[in-house]
Amino acid sequence: MFDLDGVLVDSEPVWEEVRRAFVAEHGGTWQPDTQSRLMGMSTGEWAAYLHELGVRLTPDEIARGVVDRMAARYRDEVPLMPGAVETVRRLAAGRVLGLASSSPRRLIDVVLDAAGLTDCFAATVSTEEVERGKPAPDGYLEAARRMGVDPGGCVAVEDSSNGLRSAHAAGMRVIAVPHPRYPPAPDALALAWRVLPDLAALAPDLIP
């Protein structure tokens, strides 16, 4: 089971740049902990949070404006993580893969299509499609449900604090591949079953 942002696509710097600019342009104030709090939130959750920062638009308008800008950036280039395509294809050859992401469905589909990975996943879930975003387990549980598998038999690959907490709360073993710019909190990293330096280290024999 894969996360998308920060694991397969190096999108967190783009999300931060786009949302920082959006907040500044619309009267809000970015806080020192804003980026870490946003990581893992569903679309509805982060749009409401940016509204609370003083953005003078409704949450729906915020979500639409930010996602439009992200889609435009992705149309220019999808910033895939090193080894992402090779790792997914290598694992898909012998295992059933799912994906649980905090990204909107629109962006998940754009990224997987651009990378040629759509057919590698038996199920993909956006936390827009469940009640709660990460760190709640809802996205991972829904992905397991759609795949018809027991969450306890799944291994999740995550990078962020909220992602690690989400997969662990779903009862999955979690492999952490920390993003160098946005490392997870120590207490979240402690939940990981394994910690790897990068995707290249994610060999099939590591996964039961």
3 carries an active-site annotation: yes
Residues 81 and 8 sit within 8 Å (Cβ to Cβ):
yes
60 carries an active-site annotation: no
Strand-pair category, 155-158 with 194-195: unpaired
Distances (CA, A) of 50 to 30, 60, 83, 103, 165: 9, 11, 33, 16, 22
- Hey, what's the torsion of the CAs at 194, 97, 84, 64, to 10 degrees? -110
CA distance 7 to 154: 17
Residues annotated catalytic, as ranges: 3, 5
